[in-house]
């Protein structure tokens, strides 16, 4: 059986309509060896840690740009305190979901950028990779990342151009692809997935979000990864077995602490 790592989801924080035990069993049956749970807000941190330990997965802590508020700078203190106190937790594998969102109108872009930079500084201090959200903001995201050269990781749900994909890859980042691959109308996503060197590809589900075309009403699930791999294989006209091995290795390279979790 092929093995998978879901490099970005919200299992344990948002409902998939089933228990964690059911998620674990279904994911394992699909070949999912491990996964990364990412946070949206400070109240998620401990819940993500508990879910990750129960599933024997990894988790990231961070403040999602869509959910920032007047208390976000207090939440940054909570993030720092949690990350420092859990730095030796083998399940804490990164800082995320963090980034910028210029798609939704009315959000404070300056606040987003200030918070993002503080989170990147924390990731650099703790030698942790990041899981980065970017919508209509990739240029500014890459500009911010360039100021923290010690920080690498994954660009979640990549939807930029082919040129932007190649630029991000050249700077050492991995690009996450998921449910959008399954929609023929996702032309930019599919074009990037087709031409990008396999050594920079990751698979993710964003479960329960970003539902695939074959279940457009959702939710998505870590067990969807084999179907995403098959679609990626068709797009690239490459063997799914070969792609699976490369992407699995990429996942461990993007989030190095996963190696110890998958070795057990």
Domain ranges (residues) in the chain: 4-263
* Burial profile 38-50: b = 16 or more Cβ within 10 angstroms, e = fewer: bbbbbebbeebbe
How is residue 224 annotated by DSSP?
Answer: G
Report phi then psi at 96, rounded to 5. Answer: 175, 160
Give the Cβ contact number of residue 258 at 10 Å: 24
Measured CA to CA, the distance from residue 258 to residue 249 in angstroms comes to 11
Which pLDDT band, with edges at 50, 70 and 90, does 264 fall under?
confident
Which pLDDT band, with edges at 50, 70 and 90, does 117 fall under?
very high
Report pLDDT digits (tens) over 14-39. 999 999 999 999 999 999 999 999 99
Which pLDDT band, with edges at 50, 70 and 90, does 168 fall under?
very high
In the chain, the percentage of residues whose pLDDT exceeds 70 is 100
Report pLDDT digits (tens) over 61-94. 999 999 999 899 999 999 999 999 999 999 999 9
> Is the peptide bond preceding residue 31 cis, with omega within 30 degrees of 0?
no
Which pLDDT band, with edges at 50, 70 and 90, does 181 fall under?
very high
What is the architecture of the domain spanning 4-263? Alpha-Beta Barrel (3.20)
Q: What's the average model confidence in pLDDT over 111-133?
A: 98
- Three-class SS of residue 36? strand
Which pLDDT band, with edges at 50, 70 and 90, does 162 fall under?
very high
């Amino acid at each position: 059986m092929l093995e998978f790592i879901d490099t970005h989801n919200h299992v344990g924080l948002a409902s998939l309509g089933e228990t964690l035990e059911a998620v674990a069993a279904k994911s394992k049956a699909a070949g999912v060896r491990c996964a990364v749970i990412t946070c949206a807000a400070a109240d998620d941190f401990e819940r993500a840690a508990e879910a990750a330990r129960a599933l024997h997965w990894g988790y990231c802590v961070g403040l999602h740009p869509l959910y920032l508020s007047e208390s976000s700078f207090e939440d940054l203190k909570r993030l720092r305190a949690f990350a420092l106190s859990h730095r030796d937790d083998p399940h804490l594998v990164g800082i995320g979901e963090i980034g910028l969102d210029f798609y939704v109108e009315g959000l404070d872009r300056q606040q987003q950028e200030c918070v993002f930079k503080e989170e990147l500084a924390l990731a650099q201090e703790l030698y942790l990779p990041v899981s980065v959200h970017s919508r209509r903001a990739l240029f500014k995201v890459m500009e911010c990342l360039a100021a923290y050269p010690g920080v690498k990781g994954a660009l979640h749900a990549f939807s930029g151009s082919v040129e932007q994909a190649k630029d991000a890859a050249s700077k050492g980042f991995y690009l996450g692809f998921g449910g959008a691959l399954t929609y023929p109308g996702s032309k930019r996503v599919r074009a990037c997935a087709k031409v990008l060197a396999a050594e920079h590809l990751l698979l993710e589900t964003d479960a329960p979000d970003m539902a695939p075309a074959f279940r457009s009403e959702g939710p998505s699930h870590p067990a969807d990864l084999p179907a995403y791999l098959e679609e990626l294989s068709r797009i690239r006209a490459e063997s799914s077995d070969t792609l699976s091995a490369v992407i699995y290795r990429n996942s461990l390279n993007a989030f190095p602490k996963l190696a110890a979790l998958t070795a057990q």
